[in-house]
Every structure is written in structure tokens, then in C-alpha cells.
Structure 1
Amino acid sequence: MSIGAGAHHEGERGFTLIETIVALALMGLLLSALAAITAQWLPNWNRGFGRIQRSELIGIALQRISADLAAAEYVPPNRDTRHPLFDGTELSVMFVRTAMGPNAGPGLDIVRLGETRDQGEFVTVRSRARFTPLAAGVSLSEQTHFGDPVVLLRAPYRLSFAYAGPDRIWKAAWRDADKLPAMIKLTIRDAASERVLSVSTIAGLHVQVPFDCTKADGKCDDDKPDTGDSARAAGQGAKR
């Protein structure tokens, strides 16, 4: 029995020490090649994924800003003023719209979209304040205290505004005008490279004139002061 078992084991062959070392060396080379490929591919994948995420966030921000601007209403600041409460500059815009939000009741809000500093960086923020008739001769910023800030864009992206009337001539500011702008251009730039992103867009406003200017004759009654009730009625009628 022992002689047969010994003869059987003599017919079996295993890996020699040299073959084992060679196999381990080949495996090490293969793993090194895979690690090098992964080190080159993974950062590119992460950058591409990051760009997609940023594009989605920018797209969501622009949709929200465009919807806000489209809902702007022709509401004068008080009974003695005919021009609408609208203050637009290159880096911020303030306007009146129907109150919107889970805790917002019926009424109007003054909405501000613009830049502010957060931890040393520029961020685009939406904030709001309840609309009440403003005192004449006092600036809007002195009478309005905005709250409920919502960050829409963060560095390195910066948002700028431009305004145009029916003539489609773009302006860097829109203040104390008799009408609301017909269009507002939203331009997003990379602050580091100053490159304009392709996701920049144009928002159209639904209302440019007071409600009493939409009569059949197309004329406004300039002698009649606008209390703002007509503009609110127009906004409510549009919602219905």
C-alpha cells in the first residue's frame, strides 16, 4: 500500500518556487496597470459628474428666477405714484409679485434677487418682504426689511441682469420707468474665467402696463391716480 501511494504522488506536479514568483510578479504588473488606468480615469469621471451636477443646479436656479420675474406685477409703491415698484440693476432686481410659499397668505410680496456675501464669497440669494404702501420721499431699501433668504447660486458662478422694453434694446438698469421691462436677460458667468455659460437665458414678463391701459382703446387715463388695486385685480384675473 505504501509503495503504491508513493508512486501515485510521484506522478503529480505542482508550482515551483520560480513559477510562483513569476506569477506574483505578473499579477503585480497587472494590478499596477489597473491602478494607473483608474488614477487617470477616476478624476476625469469625477469632474464630468461635477459639471453635470452644477449644470442641473444652475438650470433649476434659472427656472425659479425666470418664474419669479414672469410673475412680476404692475404695482405702484403708493397712491401718489404711477410708475411700478421695480428696481433693476446689473447685480440685483426688486419687484412685486403675488405672495408664494407654504406660509404665505393672500397678498403681495416685494422680492429681491441679487448678490450678497456669504463667508467671503458672492452668492445669489432670493429674499422677500411683505408689501405695504411705501412712504413718499424715502428709499425702498430704508423701508423694506427682507427675510426668508434662499441661496440660488454659489461661487464661482455670478448672475447679472439686463433689461429691455418692446424696442429690444438692452439696458444695464431699469429704474423709475413708466412700465415694467418686457424682457430680462439672465447671464451667468464663471467668476474665475469670466466665461459666459450657455445656460444663460431670457425671462419674459407677463405684465408691462397697468390694468387700466388694457382697455379697448389702448389708452391710459393719466389723470386718474393708480392706487395699485387695478394691478392686483389684473394679477388675480390672470391667475383665474
Structure 2
Amino acid sequence: MTQARTDRRAHERGFTLIETIVALVLMGLLLSALASITAQWLPSWNRGLDRIQRSELIGIALERMGADLAAAEFVAPNRDTRRPLFDGSELSVTFVRTSVGPNAGPGLDVVRLGESRDRGEFVTVRTQTRFTPLADGLSLTEQVHLGSPVVLLRAPYRLSFAYAGPDRIWKGAWKGADKLPAMIRLTVRDAASQRVLSVSTIAPVHVQIPGDCTKPDGNCSDKRNSEGATDQGKT
């Protein structure tokens, strides 16, 4: 038994030194090729993943801003004013909406969506404060002190607004009108290339006129509405 096992092992052959070296060289070439392919492919993968993540974050920010704008209320600054508290420009919009949040009680908030400076770069920020009647003769910025900033959009992206009434004619500003805009367009651009992103959207405003216009005795005439449209056209 021992002799047969010895004879069988004598006929078995292993790798020679040359075969081992050749195998190691081939393995090294294979690993080098895989590393080269990975080095070329991985940056493209990371860039694609980064674009997807940014698009998702921008989409979430636009969805939140769209919900805010859709909830804008027709609220006059005080009893002596019939026009709503709404100030819309190309880079910011200020409006009144129902208070929302985990710690918010019943009431109204003044909300501003617009650009601000953070560490030398432009960011889109949401700020708010509790609504209280405003005095005549003073500007909105003098009376409303906004706080609780929340950054919604960072560089290299910038956000701009446009406004349209029922006529669907877009304007770069909406100030001093008798009604709220029917739609607000949110356009996101790459600051470097000025390319408009496909995630840009339009937010419909659910309320454009005061609540008393729906009452039978409401003082809301076609003349006042047409005058508001005329004033808006001059803005």
C-alpha cells in the first residue's frame, strides 16, 4: 500500500517556477486592465450619480415652494386696503399663507422665497414671520422682519419667478394688483451656463380674489378687477 502511494506521487507534477512566474505576470496584466477601465468609468458614474442626487434635491425644493405658493391667501395688509399683501419680483416673492409646521398654531404667516447671500454665494432661502396688520405709508421691508431661514437651493443653481393672471401672459413682477396671480413659474438655471433645468415648474395659486367676492352682497365689481389688470399691465 505504501509503495503504490509512493509511485503515484512520483508521477504527479506541480507548477514549475517559470509557469508560476508567467501566471503571476498574466494576473498582473489582468488586474492592471481592470484598474484602468475602472479609473475611466468611475468618474462618469460619480458625475451621473451626483446629477441624479442634485435633481432630486431640486425637485424636493420646487415641490415645497410650489405648495407654499399654491396656499397663498388673499389677505390685505390692513382694513383700509383692498389689495392683497403680495410682492413678486424676478428673484423673490412675498405672500401670506396659513401657518404650517409642527409647532405652528392657528393663524397666518408672511412668507418670503428669494435669494440671499451665504458665504459669498447665492442661495434660495425660505423665511417667515407671523402676520400682523401693517401700517400705511411704510414699506413692507420696514415693517416685516422675517426669520427662521431654510435654505432650499444652493449654487450653482439660481431661481427666478414669473407671474401670470387668467390671461396667461407672463410678467417679471406682480406688485400692487387687486388680485393674486393665477400661476407662478419657477425657473431654475445653472449659473455658469444659464441653462434652464428640466425640473422647472409652474405653481397654480388656488385663490386670486378675496372671500367676500363669493358672497351675494360682496363689493367686488368687474370694474375694480379690470382696473387691477390695467394697473398690473403698467407695472
Whether these two folds match at TM > 0.5 is yes
Shift of residue 167, structure 1, vs aligned partner: 1.1
**What are the within-5 Å matches in structure 2 for residues 169-188 of structure 1?**
169-188=169-188
Residue identity matched to 1:153: L
Which residue is equivalent to 1:75?
75
Q: Which runs of 4+ in 1 moved over 4 A?
A: 1-9, 216-219
Q: Percent identity?
A: 77
Aligned length: 222
Which residue is equivalent to 1:14?
14
Which residue is equivalent to 1:111?
111
Secondary structure class of the residue paired with 1:127? strand
Residue identity matched to 2:10: E
- So what's the TM-score if we normalise by structure 1? 0.87
What RMSD in Å do the two structures reach over aligned CA positions? 2.0
Secondary structure class of the residue paired with 1:74? coil
5+ residue gaps, structure 1: 223-240
Shift of residue 13, structure 1, vs aligned partner: 1.3
Which residue is equivalent to 2:84?
84
**In the aligned structure 2, how far is the partner of 1:71 from the partner of 1:7?**
92
Which residue is equivalent to 2:99?
99
**In the aligned structure 2, how far is the partner of 1:130 from the partner of 1:59?**
27
- So what's the TM-score if we normalise by structure 2? 0.89
5+ residue gaps, structure 2: 223-235
Does 2:144 match 1:144?
Answer: yes
Shift of residue 214, structure 1, vs aligned partner: 2.1
**In the aligned structure 2, how far is the partner of 1:208 from the partner of 1:161?**
17
Q: Which is bigger in relative contact order (C-alpha 8 A, separation at least 6)?
A: 1
Shift of residue 213, structure 1, vs aligned partner: 1.5
CA deviation string 1:91-146 (max 9, x = no partner)? 00000000111111111000000010111111111110100001110011011111
Which residue is equivalent to 2:133?
133
**In the aligned structure 2, how far is the partner of 1:186 from the partner of 1:41?**
35
Residue identity matched to 1:208: Q
**In the aligned structure 1, how far is the partner of 2:203 from the partner of 2:2?**
94
